[in-house]
Amino acid sequence: MEWTPMADKVGAEATGVDLATIDGEELEALKALVHDRGVVVLRDQTLTPEQHIVLAERWGGIDINNYFPLQDEYPQIAIVRKGADQQTNIGGAWHTDHSYDQVPAMGSILVARTLPPSGGDTLFAHMGAAYDALDEETKAEIEDLKAFHTADHVYKEGGIYAHTDQGKDLRGQDVETGAVHPVVIRHPQTGRRLLYVNGSFTINFVGQSREESLPLLQRLLAAALTDDNQCRVEWKPGTVAIWDNRTTWHNAMNDYHGHAREMHRITLSGDALAA
């Protein structure tokens, strides 16, 4: 396997890898690259649904998403879809998947199945680099903080998506979520310090109200999104992206109205997070 950086701090594009057969030391090397760079893009892959599932099982485990439509024949695979007649996409804001779970998902393997003629890229930002760039006063301020995460305001009945043209397609309107995690975590595999808040699911710091939490939370969110801490995944037929939810945020661009986009996602099981 060879790889080149997609940007200085985040992302890698790997070559010489066949995801349908990868195993052993080669798979461990790919895992390490994902943990370190946050997201790895692989081109010209021909993964069938069965091979997609086998890859995820080799990686270490599958979390079934509570909200997205699932493939009838392969319920391990969630369908992330926007129809040509829809205006709203899924994931169109900076976020970290499953931070609202007690044990958040490690990451995802996303396979491009139907793409618009242009647009629909996904942006990624590195949370290790985000933490490193904070001034020492801010690092001290957040050292022992914990934050509450939930997806109820997004997916539940009456939530954000319920008021859009995605509402009828989503599941889990009766699911209740909520988890408390350290604001600064250590990556379970690399040991690197990471900023672990996000704009979509982090509601407040423990011991503070939402209103009291917002000034610092907004400051952290803004500090993470500097231009030099982002990369852009341009999707093409045969593209697969594998990312680490602890190391990155991501944001799916919604700039292809009038065209369909369908991606198949398997969510990878993670580890309990520690400060």
State how far the Cα of 88 lies from the Cα of 113, in Å rounded to an integer: 19
CA distance 198 to 94: 7
Catalytic residue among 36, 97, 101, 244: 97
- Under 8 Å CB-to-CB from 208, ≥6 apart: which residues? none
Q: Is 246 annotated as catalytic?
A: no
Cα separation, 94 vs 230, in Å, equals 11
Tell me the sheet residues that pair with 37.
none
- Amino acid at the residue 74: Y
d(CA 172, CA 66): 6
Q: Please say if 43 is a catalytic residue.
A: no
Closest CA to 139 of 86, 58, 212, 195: 195
* Active-site residue identified among 35, 181, 192, 265: 265
Check if 95 is active-site: yes
- Note if 257 is an active site residue: no
Say how far apart CA 204 and CA 231 lie, in whole Å: 28
Give the C-alpha separation, 101 to 67, whole Å. 13
Measured distance CA(247)–CA(114) in Å, rounded = 27
Closest CA to 230 of 246, 253, 252, 248: 248
Name the catalytic one among 35, 37, 81, 95.
Answer: 95
**Options 35, 250, 261, 264, the catalytic residue:** 250
6 close to 12: Cβ distance less than 8 angstroms:
yes
Residues classed as catalytic: 95, 97, 250, 265
